[in-house]
């Protein structure tokens, strides 16, 4: 065994132990510490503090620090192209479910209901002829009797044929009053709506006449401006009133002859119309 003697604070201390090989930085520091204690025991603490200060410097130099990365600028979002939007819209349309037969039937019924609401319903007209008025009044009396409608209608015609002249005149006078009252009610109904509403109603009535078998005659509006008469129509009316078709000539042949004569006229006569013969 080896023994070491060191002087610290005026006292002798003996250290014994197996000799160890100093390794690395720690071995060098222990040797330097022993030498400094033997040479100048008073300055032992300051030298030890300096060595301790050097230790982190020596260790810090043994490792490399990572470089700090600069923050990256945020990327601007890409603008959507119209092609992408249209593609999405087409895909959404393709994704829609097809309409079922029940849904089509519901839509058709709703469309028919809307058309009837737009078509408007004028007031019912009263019987305007003596025959119509007589038959309607007789049918109302026979409705309480037994029998089919055809049988009651035959009986009404028989009673109408048996009417006296005075009774027939009464029916004619009543029919004339009904006609005046019906015309007044119809005009009041037309004037209660705007011309645009009457125009839309006639469009709906035209469509309903193609879809159903009902009586959807167009409404007559006296406020609607009439289309101007063409010069050819004026010329044709004058030729028909003055000469008319020749003997043995049909109306179609007369119209063709007048049309050929009108085409041969100069342009200024077609615009203002041909002069009348005096």
Give the domain ranges of the chain: 2-59, 121-192, 231-272
- Choose among 212, 215, 142, 134: nearest CA to 175: 134
- Nearest 5°: phi and psi at 6? -130, 150
* The pLDDT of residue 50 is above 80: no
State pLDDT tens for residues 217-274.
999 998 888 778 888 888 888 888 887 777 667 888 888 888 888 888 888 877 754 4
Measure the CA–CA gap between 217 and 206, rounded to whole angstroms: 8
CB 19 within 8 A of CB 2: yes
Rounded to the nearest integer, the mean pLDDT of the chain is: 74
Specify the higher pLDDT residue, 59 or 90.
Answer: 90
Question: Backbone phi, then psi, for 177, in 5-degree steps?
Answer: -65, -40
pLDDT of the residue at 227: 76
For residues 265 and 59, what is the distance between their CA atoms, to the nearest angstrom? Answer: 121
Contact between 16 and 3 under an 8 Å Cβ cutoff? The reply is yes
Residues 179-197: tens digit of each pLDDT: 999 999 999 999 999 999 9
* Percent of the chain residues past pLDDT 90, beyond the cut: 22
Per residue in 1-21, pLDDT (tens digit) is 444 444 444 444 544 444 455
Does residue 56 surpass a pLDDT of 70? no
CATH T-level fold of 121-192: DNA Binding (I), subunit A (1.10.30)
Phi, psi for residue 7 in degrees, rounded to 5: -105, 120
| Distance between first and last Cα of the chain | 167
Predicted confidence (pLDDT) per residue in 133-154, tens digit? 888 888 887 776 667 788 888 8
3-class SS string, the chain: CEEEEEEECCEEEEEEECCCCCCHHHHHHHHHHHHHHHHCCCCHHHHHHHHHHHHHHHHHCCCCCCCCCCCCCCCCCCCCCHHHHHHHHHHHHHHCCCCCHHHHHHHHHHHHHHHHHHHCCCCCCCCCCHHHHHHHHHHHHHCCCCCCHHHHHHHHHHHHHCCCHHHHHHHHHHHHHHHHHHHHHHHHHHHCCCHHHHHHHHHHHHHHHHHCCCCCCCCCCCCCCCCCCCHHHHHHHHHHHHCCCCCCCCHHHHHHHHHHHHHCCCHHHHHHCCCCCC
Query: 148-163 burial, b if ≥16 CB within 10 A, otherwise e?
Result: eeeebeebbeeebeee
- Model pTM greater than 0.85? no
Quote the pLDDT of residue 36. Answer: 54
């Amino acid at each position: 065994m080896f023994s070491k003697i060191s002087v610290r604070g005026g006292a002798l201390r003996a250290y014994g132990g197996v000799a160890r090989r100093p390794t690395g930085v720690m071995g060098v520091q222990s040797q330097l510490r022993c030498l400094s204690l033997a040479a100048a025991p008073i300055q032992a603490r300051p030298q030890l503090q300096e060595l301790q200060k050097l230790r982190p410097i020596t260790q810090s130099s043994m490792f490399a620090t990572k470089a700090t990365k600069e923050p990256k600028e945020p990327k601007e979002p890409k603008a959507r192209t119209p092609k992408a939007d249209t593609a999405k819209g087409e895909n959404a349309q393709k994704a829609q479910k097809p309409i079922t037969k029940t849904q089509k039937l519901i839509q058709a019924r709703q469309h028919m209901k809307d058309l009837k609401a737009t078509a408007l319903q004028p007031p019912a007209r009263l019987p305007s002829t003596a025959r119509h008025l007589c038959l309607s009044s007789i049918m109302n009396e026979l409705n309480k009797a037994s029998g089919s409608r055809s049988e009651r209608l035959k009986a009404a015609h028989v009673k109408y044929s048996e009417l006296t002249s005075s009774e027939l005149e009464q029916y004619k006078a009543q029919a004339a009053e009904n006609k005046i009252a019906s015309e007044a009610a119809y005009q009041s109904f037309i004037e209660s709506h705007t011309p645009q509403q009457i125009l839309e109603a006639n469009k709906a009535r035209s469509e309903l006449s193609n879809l159903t078998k009902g009586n959807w005659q167009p409404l007559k509006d006296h406020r609607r401006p009439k289309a101007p008469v063409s010069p050819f129509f004026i010329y044709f009316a004058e030729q028909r009133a003055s000469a008319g078709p020749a003997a043995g000539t049909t109306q179609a042949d007369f119209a063709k002859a007048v049309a050929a004569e009108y085409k041969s006229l100069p342009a200024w006569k077609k615009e203002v119309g041909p002069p009348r013969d005096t």
